[in-house]
Structure 1
Amino acid sequence: MSTSTTPIVRTRFAPSPTGYLHLGGARTALFSWAFARHHGGTFVLRIEDTDLQRSTPEAVQAILDGMQWLNLSPDEGPFYQMQRMERYREVLDELLAKGAVYPCYSTPEEVEAMRERARAAGLKPRYDGTWRPEAGKTLPAVPEGRRPVLRFKNPLTGVTAWDDIIKGPISFDNSELDDLIVARGDGTPTYNFCVVVDDWDMRITHVLRGDDHINNTPRQINILKALDAELPQYGHLPMILGPDGEKLSKRHGAVSVMEYDKQGYLPEAMINYLARLGWSHGNDELFTREQLVQWFDSRSLSKSAAQWDPKKLNWVNAHYIKQTPDAELATLVDAHIRELGGDPQAVDLPAVMALLKDRAETLVQLAQGALLFCAPYTPADPALVAEHLNDEALETLRSFRIHASKLPDWTAAALHDVIQATLAERGIKMPKLGIPLRIAATGQKQTPALDTVLAILGRETVMQRLSAVLD
């Protein structure tokens, strides 16, 4: 009796370090990570750095920083393609020996001329197989001093097809596929070849990537078949569109994910929002990372493009800010306050967070609000004073000061009672006290809850500022 075992799921995220980790890449990383976690598998990080002209150490670091910020830790890697050149050459030699790869001496100009001729004849522009060895075919004489590229001998007939995890059945006629260059004239292997060897060696079972890679997939499948390698399952994610329905670009906010860190977004909020760009679990909009892993099912991935919505991201971020404990929030906001010129240690910052967090959409907004307590005090504008601190207002403030000076405990609840007592004594509505008191104590006409603001500022500060106005 034979038994079959299901292969352990192994996914990979394989960015090219030619720029920062952008939103589309971050979503691909998230889905690959979640798929592996859901199935109890392995998530591999691979840096595809063979484009020496455009790959930079700074871009590599930007990718690693983005992954760390999002807490998408790989189980294996990062692996770097430039450190695997020997392995690629070994596999190239193997394919050369099998006759699956052949040297091609056509120059780029000659290949372009072939494509022009095909276009003129109404055919798909492609390399015409001049140097492809076939039974009974005589190859041209090798041009002296010309270094060949290596091309993969793609099947000329039949169809290359796969059942895409996301899009369903996809097929390509082999007659439409070029004999792909797998090594350049200087011997360095090309992107599509390196990807194949890596996926083979790293035993990748599922490849989730953007649908801009669909045209690469049949070429990669045919090389894997030539190597007698097991094929992974492929799933191609539709792109993310901007709010206007156009391709996401910098003007929509398609910047490095680390820019969202600077703008005061929480990584958990970004994870939650990115997950909903092309995946769903019923009508759930807000969920934990643990729920995402538990629920993540490739069958729930959308076939259609997702749309980036900054307002929705802000709504999600606001939710996570509200859920974050005040002390933790204070730690997160600290650097943003310092960047704005404030001193986070000048005040009970967790108390400030408790006061402000229900109205904030980002950590930067929280920091801006905290400057009321953390920045040097600036007395109110003279025009504001002239408008609101008339004789009646000053008398009201004196009444408040008398009541407040008798408080045994300087708390928000006690100050609330003092405010109410002053209003009753003077026979006035809240604005008649609230506006002058805010102007005197904070220099501003509008603040959050006045009793809490006064409590956080402290007895000594409030009394000094009242005295400066009244005396």
Structure 2
Amino acid sequence: MTDDQPRSLTNRPRLRYAPSPTGDPHVGNIRQAVWSWLHAKRYGGDFIVRLEDTDQARAQPGADRRIFDSLRWLGVEWDEGPDVGGPHGPYVQSQRLDVYHEEINKLLVQNKVRRCFCSPERLDTIREEQRQNKVPPGIRDCCDVDPTEAEERAASGEANVVRFRTPRTGTTVANDLLRGDISFENHTLDDFVLIKSDGYPTYHFAHVVDDHAMEITLVTRGEEWISSLPRHALLFDAFGYERPIYAHASVIKAPGGGKLSKRHGAKSVLEYSDDGYLPDSLLNFLCLTGWGHEDQTIFSRDELLSLFDMANITLASATFDHDKLEWLNGTYIRSLDSATFAKALKARLELDLPPDVARPVDESLVEDIAPLIQERITLMTDAIHLVDFFWVTDVPVPPVEDFLVKKWRDRGPEAATALSTAATKLEAISDSEWNRERIETVLREHAESIGLKAGELLSIVRTAVTGKKVSPPLFESVEIIGKGLSVERLQSAALSLNA
């Protein structure tokens, strides 16, 4: 950060996240929220959530709640917003129509905007003429009705929109925090719509009015909005409002450079939660898609809050690296203290275990199991496939072919005898001696007594007791399952092999 950067960038900045409630926020969208929140919090500012729902046809019921849930799952809290209130509300655009009408009247009085009564057919004709004459597209000077007449026609109920009177000459220069000054020739711009025929504002108008009213000092958004920057700059100037600082970030691209789609990872935030990602790992990953600090890859939340700066965003397009996200998630899982991991595991298992398993699950059982798998999983959803046998009383006996591999191929009766004897020997262990060390000793001695390598016996014991070829450490698992259930499963497997 250099001393000559605008004070509003670091002096209690106010940033906002203004999604449209038309669906669940995906990673590219939520990244802007994360960046804005981090920058605001680093410099003692405020982070505001505002819902831009002026496109009523596309608004989805419940989308606002999913937006809030997504942010809170990531640990992003806001100072002002629809559900927490604040001094600049309402924070939902459809509840601010009176504000927009008041503001548009200011521009109508100053003749900086005009009412347009053109029919859709008339506008289509203009566009076709532009195409044939190879004129830059856009509605300009489609009609210029005397302001008094226009107000009379509007008052009588005649359908109209309100358009901005864009200058026909000159250049509009707008500054971007990341790109510097960007110039736009005014003759290439159209008379863009500010108020639609249904009385609702367009995005262009509402966001300018709201950003001023809510004292937003820094706006971060995707580079696809650069083409709209001159419109917004002209609107701020028409009102005589100070422009906020804009930062247009490069988009996240798919591997290979194409557009990021759902198959590449453009899922909603809550889908990542469902898929077993930790919020801190996704937060870390989103920050790294366009920002970095020296050669550091893994950041704690506190480090991000103390280091992140919007001015250090890179313009190079970030690639959505799914493998890196998974690696980060596994690293975060392994870094959790035992109590935190056990708590996260309990919450995950209560989602993933079969419905006939009683809830809440036994906390002490989870605490016993957690250390056995913390180093073995990459996603929290990996856990269920490793540990369900601890809760499922009737673990299905695996198919015979799962037992009869390698050493045991075509030796079913011998495998059955080995398992049956293992059951007998484990059953003979006293309750006071039932622990991992004693279980290991008994099984290894059993293997030696029948001329087997330990691994040859333990492989079929594992399959019998857990129903899996890969499981948490066997001796600890047998100890936790308990003598009765372990013996029962060994005997069931032996009977299956003798069938």
TM-score norm. by structure 2 comes to 0.85
Aligned: 1:455 with 2:459: no
Q: Does 1:68 align with 2:80?
A: no
Give the conservation status (yes or no) of the 8 Å contact 1:22–1:256.
Answer: yes
Change (3 A) 1:386 1:334: closer
Aligned with 2:22: secondary structure?
A: coil
Partner of 1:338: 353
Query: What amino acid is aligned across from residue 441 of structure 1 in structure 2?
Result: V
**Which residue of structure 2 aligns with residue 98 of structure 1?**
110
**How far is 1:123 from its partner?**
2.7
Q: Are the aligned partners of 1:396 and 1:426 in contact in 2 as well (CA < 8 Å)?
A: no
Correspondence list, 1:95-134, <5 A? 95-132=107-144
Distance change (3 Å), C-alpha of 1:435 and 1:189:
closer
Contact preservation (8 Å) 2:26, 2:269: yes
CA distance in 2, matches of 1:119, 1:470: 80
In 2, distance between residues paired with 1:80 and 1:145? 27
- 1:158 equivalent in alignment to 2:158: no
User: Shift of the alpha carbon at 1:51?
Assistant: 0.5
Mapped to 2, the partners of 1:466 and 1:404 lie a distance apart of 11
Q: Distance in 1 between matches of 2:137 and 2:347?
A: 55
Moved more, 335-344 or 312-321: 335-344
Alpha carbons of 1:177 and 1:460: their partners in 2 closer, same or farther (altered >3 Å)? same
Could you tell me which runs of 5 or more consecutive residues in structure 2 were left unpaired when the two chains were aligned: 1-5, 83-90
Look up the SS of the partner of 1:328 in the other structure.
helix
Contact 2:27 2:269 (C-alpha < 8 Å) held by counterparts? yes
Instruction: Please provide the CA RMSD for this pair.
Output: 2.9
Instruction: Among all aligned residue pairs of Structure 1 and Structure 2, give the percentage whose two residues are the same amino acid.
Output: 32
Per-residue CA deviations over 1:275-303 (Å, capped at 9, x if unaligned) read 11111112222111111111112232121
- For 1:302 and 1:204, locate their aligned partners in 2 and report how far apart those are by CA, in whole Å: 23
Which deviates the most, 295-304 or 426-435? 426-435
User: 2-side partners of 1:147 and 1:396: how far apart?
Assistant: 84
Q: 145-154 or 390-399: which moved more? A: 390-399
Instruction: Assess if the C-alpha contact under 8 Å between 1:404 and 1:415 holds in 2.
Output: no
Separation of aligned partners in 2, 1:181 and 1:441: 69
Amino acid at match of 1:100: K
Distance 2:355 2:293 in 1: 40
Aligned partner of residue 112 in structure 1, secondary structure: helix
Q: Provide structure 1 residue ranges, at least 5 long, that are not aligned to the other structure.
A: none
Partner SS state of residue 215, structure 1: helix
In the TM superposition, what is the alpha-carbon distance from 1:206 to its structure 2 partner?
0.2
Quick check: 2:290–2:313 contact (8 Å CA) kept in 1?
yes
**Residue 50 of structure 2 is aligned to residue 46 of structure 1:** yes
Q: Quick one: which amino acid aligns to residue 402 of structure 1? A: K
Alignment partner, residue 15 of structure 1: 19
Tell whether 2:429 aligns with 1:406: yes
Aligned to 2:265: 253
Contact 1:35 1:293 in 2 (8 A): yes
Opposite residue 350 of structure 1, the aligned amino acid is E
1:21-73, Cα deviation, whole Å (9 max, x unpaired) = 11111111111111111111100100000101111222222212211211211
2:396 is aligned to 378
Q: Are the aligned partners of 2:427 and 2:484 in contact in 1 as well (CA < 8 Å)?
A: no
Partner of 2:442: 418
SS at match of 1:291: helix
Q: Which moved more, 1:26-35 or 1:439-448?
A: 439-448
Residue 101 of structure 2: SS of its match in structure 1?
helix
Shift of 1:183: 1.2
CA deviation profile, 1:197-251 (whole Å, cap 9, x unmatched): 0000000000001111111211011111111111100011111112242111223
Contact in 2 for aligned 1:398/1:470 (Cα 8 Å): no
Answer whether contact 2:448 2:454 (CA < 8 A) is retained: no
Rounded Cα–Cα distance in structure 2 between residues aligned with 1:395 and 1:196: 77
**Structure-2 change in CA distance of 1:396 and 1:334 (3 Å):** closer
Alignment of 1:162-311 (within 5 A): 162-311=174-323
Q: Is the CA contact 1:332–1:363 (under 8 Å) kept in the aligned structure 2?
A: no
Give deviations 1:306-364, integer Å, cap 9, x for gaps.
Answer: 11122211111111222233421332222333357655737812222221221212121
Task: Number of aligned residue pairs: give it.
Answer: 465
SS in 1 for 2:220: strand
- Are the aligned partners of 1:160 and 1:218 in contact in 2 as well (CA < 8 Å)? yes
The 8 Å contact of residues 126 and 178 in structure 1, kept in 2 or not, is answered as yes
Compute the displacement of 1:468 (Å): 4.7
Give the AA of the match of 1:306. A
One-letter amino acid of the structure 2 residue matched with residue 465 of structure 1: R
Which of 353, 360, 367 does residue 350 from structure 1 map onto?
A: 367
Residue 373 of structure 1 aligns with an amino acid whose one-letter code is: F
d(CA) in 2 for partners of 1:435 and 1:312? 33
Give how far 1:169 is off: 2.6
Q: Secondary structure at the match of 1:261?
A: helix
Q: How does 1:384-395 map to 2 (within 5 A)?
A: 384=402, 388=408, 389-391=412-414, 394-395=417-418
CA contact (8 A) 1:149 1:181 kept: yes
Q: Answer whether contact 2:12 2:40 (CA < 8 A) is retained.
A: no
Deviation at 1:115, TM superposition (A): 3.2
Q: Which residue of 2 aligns with 1:36?
A: 40
Q: Secondary structure at the residue paired with 2:374?
A: helix
> Which of 378-387 and 338-347 deviates more?
338-347
1:55 aligns with 2:59: yes
Q: For the residues of structure 2 that align with 1:286 and 1:5, how far apart are their CA atoms? A: 30
Partner of 2:463: 439
Question: Who is 1:26 aligned against?
Answer: 30
Aligned to 2:85: none
Partner secondary structure for residue 316 of structure 2:
coil
User: Counterpart amino acid of 2:50?
Assistant: R
Verify the 8 A CA contact 2:174 2:229 in the aligned structure 1.
no
**Cα offset, 1:264, TM superposition:** 1.4
Instruction: Using the TM superposition, name which of 264-273 and 424-433 deviates more.
Output: 424-433
Distance 1:146 1:469, change over 3 A: closer
Paired with 1:189 and 1:94, the residues of 2 have a C-alpha distance of 15
Deviation at 1:172, TM superposition (A): 0.8
